[in-house]
Amino acid sequence: MATIVVKQIGSPIRRPAIQRETLKGLGLNKMNRTRELEDTPAVRGMVAKIPHLVAIIEEKA
């Protein structure tokens, strides 16, 4: 199972509610937190929606 490591690089303060909810859906809520998530189209889509708030720092096969 492939995974990606996602890091929160931006603050959700003064962002639209949908962007805050997307961060929560990824399991992120504080600056510089990282999560290892399954590499699925749904997760990739969530990351693509908020590229200014998160970064993919590692991709594991």
In tens, the pLDDT along 6-59 reads 999 999 999 999 999 999 999 999 999 999 999 999 999 999 999 999 999 999
> Given this model, what pLDDT does residue 61 score?
87
Fold of 3-60: Ribosomal Protein L30; Chain: A, (3.30.1390)
Per domain, the residue ranges of the chain are: 3-60
Return the pLDDT at 15: 97
Distances (CA, A) of 23 to 1, 4, 9, 61: 23, 15, 11, 24
pTM of the full predicted structure? 0.93
